[in-house]
Amino acid sequence: MSISENLDENGFPSLQFSLESEEEENGDKDGSIEVNKEGFASDFYNSGTDWSGLLEKNSRKDRPSERKLKQASLFQMWGFAKPDKPDLKPRAFSVSPPPKKTKRSISGDSLNVRMNPNAPPLGKRSYGVRDDRRRVCPFYKKIPGTPFTVDAFRYGLIEGCSAYFLSHFHYDHYGGLSKGWSHGPIYCTPLTARLVRMCLSVNPSFICPLELDTDYVIEGIKVTMLEANHCPGAALIHFRLGDGRCFLHTGDFRACKLMQSYPLLVNQRVNVLYLDTTYCDPKYRFPSKEDVLSFVVKITRNSLKKHPNTLVIVGAYSIGKECVYRAISEALGIKIYANASRRKILQSFSWPELSGRLCSCGEDTPLHVLPISSLLPETLKEYLKAYMHRYTAVLAFRPTGWTYSETFGNQLDLIKPSSKGNIMIYGVPYSEHSSFLELREFVQFLRPDKIIPTVNVGNAAHRDKMQSYFREWLKA
Instruction: Summarize as ranges the residues that interact with Zn ion (CB under 5 A).
Output: 170, 252
In sequence order, which ranges of 201-321 are alpha helices (DSSP H)?
Answer: 289-306
Check if the beta carbon of residue 149 is closer than 8 Å to that of residue 142: yes
Between 159 and 252, whose beta carbon lies closer to Zn ion?
Answer: 252
Toward Zn ion, which CB reaches closer, 74 or 323?
A: 323
Q: Least distance in Å: CB of 231 to Zn ion?
A: 6
Shortest Cβ distance from residue 168 to Zn ion (Å)? 6
CA gap 197, 437 in Å, rounded = 36
From the number of C-beta atoms within 10 Å of its C-beta (0-12, 13-18, 19+), residue 205 rates as exposed
Provide, rounded to whole angstroms, the least separation between the CB of residue 236 and Zn ion.
13
Q: How far is the CB of 20 from Zn ion (least distance, A)?
A: 13
- Tell me whether residue 9 or residue 276 sits nearer to Zn ion (CB atom): 276
Nearer to Zn ion, 219 or 432 (CB): 432
Pick between residue 134 and residue 254 the one whose CB is nearest to Zn ion. Answer: 254
Report the distance separating Cα 219 and Cα 100, nearest Å.
10
Nearer to Zn ion, 137 or 319 (CB): 319
Q: Which is nearer to Zn ion, 209 or 232 (CB)?
A: 232
- Using CA atoms, how far residue 283 sits from 28, 412, 437, 452, in Å, is 14, 16, 10, 21
- How many Å apart are CA 110 and CA 122, to the nearest integer? 25
Q: Smallest distance, Å, CB 433 to Zn ion?
A: 8
Please identify, using beta-carbon distances, which residue of 70 and 170 lies nearer to Zn ion: 170
d(CA 392, CA 385): 9
CB of 121 vs Zn ion, minimal distance in Å:
39
Q: Which is nearer to Zn ion, 76 or 250 (CB)?
A: 250
Give strand ranges (E) for 79-206: 100-101, 142-143, 148-150, 163-165, 186-188
CB closer to Zn ion, 19 vs 129: 19
CB 173, min distance to Zn ion, A:
6
Task: Using CA atoms of 211, 217, 222, 224 in order, give the dihedral in degrees to the nearest 10.
Answer: 0
CB of 170 to Zn ion, least distance (A): 3
| SS3 category, 15 | strand
* Number of separate helices (H) and strands (E) present in the chain: 12, 21
d(CA 390, CA 384): 9
CB of 275 to Zn ion, least distance (A): 14
Nearest to 154 by CA among 127, 130, 173: 173
DSSP-assigned states of every residue in 327-356: HHHHHHT--EE--HHHHHHHHHT--HHHHT
Minimum distance, C-beta of residue 320 to Zn ion, in the bound complex (Å): 7
To Zn ion, the closest distance from the beta carbon of 39 in angstroms equals: 27
Label residue 92 exposed, middle or buried (CB < 10 Å: 0-12, 13-18, 19+).
exposed
Residue 114: phi, psi to the nearest 5? -75, 150
In the complex with Zn ion, the residue whose CB is nearer, 348 or 434, is: 434
CB of 176 to Zn ion, least distance (A): 15
Under a CB-based contact definition with an 8 Å cutoff, are residues 135 and 154 in contact? yes
Q: Report in angstroms the alpha-carbon separations of 384 from 38, 129, 177, 214, 336.
A: 53, 53, 36, 47, 16
Q: How many CB atoms lie within 10 A of CB 88?
A: 11
Give the whole-angstrom CA distance, residue 16 versus residue 6.
Answer: 9
Nearer to Zn ion, 154 or 170 (CB): 170
DSSP secondary structure string, 21-60?
-S-TT-TT-SS-EEE-TT-HHHHHHHTT---GGGS-HHHH
Separation of alpha carbons 464 and 105, rounded Å: 40
